Amino acid sequence: MSDRSRGRHGFRYQPFYCEENAWWLCAEPALGPGERQVVFIGNLFGHCPLAQQRAARRGHVIWWDYHCVVLDATRRIWDLDTRLTVPLPAQAWLAGSFPFVDRLPPTLIPRFRLISADVYRRSFASDRSHMRTPGGRWQHPPPPWPSIGSGMNLDAHRAMSGDGPGELLRWDDFVRRVDAVQPAEQ
């Protein structure tokens, strides 16, 4: 793999392909031992505001249709698209990424779909068709590695209502989940 496909943290990285970055990140030894979860972030509106994202100008939010990060066993978030520290304790990442959450109307409040990293690595598939314009051009250049899996099941993973893999949590439930007592250091 070329140095161009490695992000600033040394992991496989391609801007605008967070779901693929997370797929590769799940297998990284740097995340430490224990269970890892892929976290899809969205809302009922379909465009979720996040602060401190590198794709936005400094001091501005970006409106992602969804975003995807990895939560490790010690409740740290690995967000390769953030300007914040990587990794970061989940509570600090939430505070930095959503400093305005208390002022959002209900349809804009983030929701979270948590999927076991093992399940995600076995079942996720993307043919990258979501990144093509109606005319077939790329909206953003694709990663240099082959697409993941066979076919396309991204919509089921990024859905913020209804059925899909893993567990769907509202804001308060996710905050409580990551605020639980941290596991003892190994």
Q: Which of 67, 68, 72, 81 is catalytic?
A: 67
Cβ neighbours of residue 61 closer than 8 Å, sequence gap 6 or more: 49, 50, 51, 53, 100
Quick one: which of 182, 178, 159 has its CA closest to 113? 159
Alpha-carbon span 1 to 12, nearest angstrom: 9
Q: Which of 18, 26, 48, 68 is catalytic?
A: 18
Residue with tokens 């190994």: 186
Catalytic annotation present for 118? no
Catalytic annotation present for 67? yes
Q: Which of 72, 79, 81, 157 is catalytic?
A: 79
Alpha-carbon span 176 to 186, nearest angstrom: 23
Catalytic annotation present for 163? no
Residue with tokens 């893999």: 165
3-state secondary structure of 90: helix
Question: Going along 12-166, which residue ranges are E strands?
Answer: 37-42, 48-50, 62-64, 67-71, 76-78, 88-89, 111-116
Return the active site residues.
18, 67, 79
